[in-house]
Structure 1
């Protein structure tokens, strides 16, 4: 194989690996463990009515409502926090999937409905996806100077 082809192939592999951490739209949703299993943020996270209702938050609320077959008004925003994920899995690794081992800035959103809590994770894009088995190990983003 020629050097340019080898280099191009290496770039494609790197891009696919880096993109592997973002859950795809329409992925089969699953509920998460209760909030006591989620890591506690080191700084207070906005909760409930304090959370800014961005289009991404509204989309996550709509997604959970559709998944549960309820009205969006029945979904409560528990918390929303900026985090730095330890790798490209965004704190939601899938078995057999490789992820970039670089830290990824993002956010975690916790929603509640029907007496259960659901964790939604986002990476750089800001688009949230449900996470069935959230992993510990997130850190708050570095403080701005």
Structure 2
């Protein structure tokens, strides 16, 4: 086996393994989709960014520096300090939080403490519901 073959096998193995160990989600629709929209959802808006200034910085970055992936905002958002709770007639509850970033090309969420209780789900979806991520469950803890 030559080095080129070994490299291809290694890259293929890394790709397969990363797919296997990615976050697993369950095929469960968000419960909130079965109820009329709640108009009282808390909205968090990220601070405005000067995208042109970021592009100018990127143009002048040293060639050895990696490309910018995005801009990281550090926030402290949790069901206990933000969002809106909606209590259903059966006693279960739905927590919702809308996060906006004007002019952003995309949003990415990173959790430093992820601990869903048994039988709960987390979904992340676009305002028009065309992109839905989840359901994430306690199996993802």
Q: State TM-score, norm by structure 1.
A: 0.32
Q: State TM-score, norm by structure 2.
A: 0.32
Higher CA-based Rg: 2
